[in-house]
Amino acid sequence: MFVNKNYRPFEEKVWLAKPFMHGPEQTYMTEAYETNWMTTAGKNIEEVERLTAGKIGVKYCVGLSAGTAALHMALKLAGEAVYGKPKIGFGALFQKKVFCSDCTFDASCNPIVYEGGIPVFIDTEYETWNMDPEALAKAFKLYPEVKIVVIAHLYGTPAKMDEIKAVCDKNGAVMIEDAAESFGAVYRGRQTGSLGMAGCLSANGNKIITGTAGGMLVTNSFEASRKVKKWSTQSREDAPWYQHEELGYNYRMSNVVAGVLRGQFPYLEEHIALKKRIYERYKKGLEGLPVSMNPYDEKNSEPNFWLSCMLIKPEAMCRQVRGERDSCYVPEHGKSCPTEILEAMGFIRAEGRPIWKPMHMQPIYRRNEFIGREGSCLGSSSLDVGMDIFNRGLCLPSHVKMTEEEQNRIIEVIRACFE
């Protein structure tokens, strides 16, 4: 167990990722209050939609209550486009398989189930920690009838989009981007979120910029944006009374939330630059240890560096056992593991997290199929990249206003774990 009195705890906890306000946010929130636009309409929403569409490089944006709501609406759009409009009581993906990223947060795949679909999890690759194009190609050989793929850009790092898109195009499948973690990240000159039939963004409190909550669906289709606006306001028809002819949802963004996000927007690039500086300081500060940082394709992409993560080399892992909710380890000289490092950071009041536990390892989805380069199975396979990254990786404190002094102390504690 890590106990070293030389490493005093921080007086104020150093968080993994937290919001940082600049001032204009209060102005736009106050404007909503003073003009009485305390609702799901108003100038703030209009401006957020305009700014987001312009930044992402698409024609349309719809402000919604969360990134999860955006992904749900994107899946409903894709389901109806591919399979037709469902009967009331049946989702657009009823009993249909959908390929999706495995190493991600469960909000990436839960909306598939909302629409009655069956998530099939595609393994990860080591170069970006995102969906493996080779595993995706294998999945289409097994299930050529699948026509929808959901790709998450993990920790703000773009996936191998050219290769993934080529596999999707070859198989006549549409691609939805879960860009909740990658707002502002660029792949070959284009913003993530602009590369599929629809992109889904998040303004949750821990994201690169925030509205405290909220999300956005972006698309180049006017008809898609029109449908999502209608569905997200309970599918009210154009009638003098409340007329409902299809299922609707209460998913529209609040004008107050939009005020916060509108005030954050001018600082997006500043936040990305600060996050990149944090990533580079970790990379330099951890040199000489048997670890590496979360990778990205330096030639074709520029992440937003939302979270800085590290991966311990296999030969430098001490023994670690994880149960469903607890974990333990055996300390070894010159070695460490995520459990020990997280415990050590917790000792000095610095928040870290394990890498996302892959979806096929989650109790709720263990009976769902998992496909890697070697083929299909339930549970893990001999080549299970996502499970390996989860076992050896962890997320480091990465909030935009973390000081260099705070980061240096965290680096010192990490280094001490390998002594």
Which of 138, 207, 227, 335 is catalytic? The answer is: 207
Q: How many CB atoms lie within 10 A of CB 36?
A: 9
Among the listed residues 67, 172, 156, the one whose alpha carbon sits nearest the alpha carbon of residue 111? 67
Q: Which helix (H) or strand (E) holds 152?
A: strand 148-152
Q: How far apart are CA 192 and CA 156, in angstroms?
A: 9
C-alpha torsion sign, points 171, 191, 263, 278: positive
3-state secondary structure of 224: helix
- Angle formed at CA 70 by CA 26 and CA 256, multiple of 5 degrees: 20
Largest CA distance in the chain: 75
138 is an active site residue: no
CA–CA separation, 226 and 138 (whole Å): 36
Whole-number Å distance between alpha carbons of 265 and 306? 16
Q: Which residue from 102, 105, 14, 44 is spatially nearest to 261, judged by alpha carbons? A: 44
**In whole angstroms, what is the distance from residue 283 CA to residue 398 CA?**
13
Question: Residue 268 has which token pair?
Answer: 């997006």
What whole-number distance in Å separates Cα of residue 331 and Cα of residue 175?
44
Residue 419 CA to residue 417 CA, distance in Å, equals: 6
Residue 376: beta bridge partners? 371
| Paired sense of beta strands 301-302 and 186-187, if any | antiparallel
Q: Which residues are catalytic?
A: 207
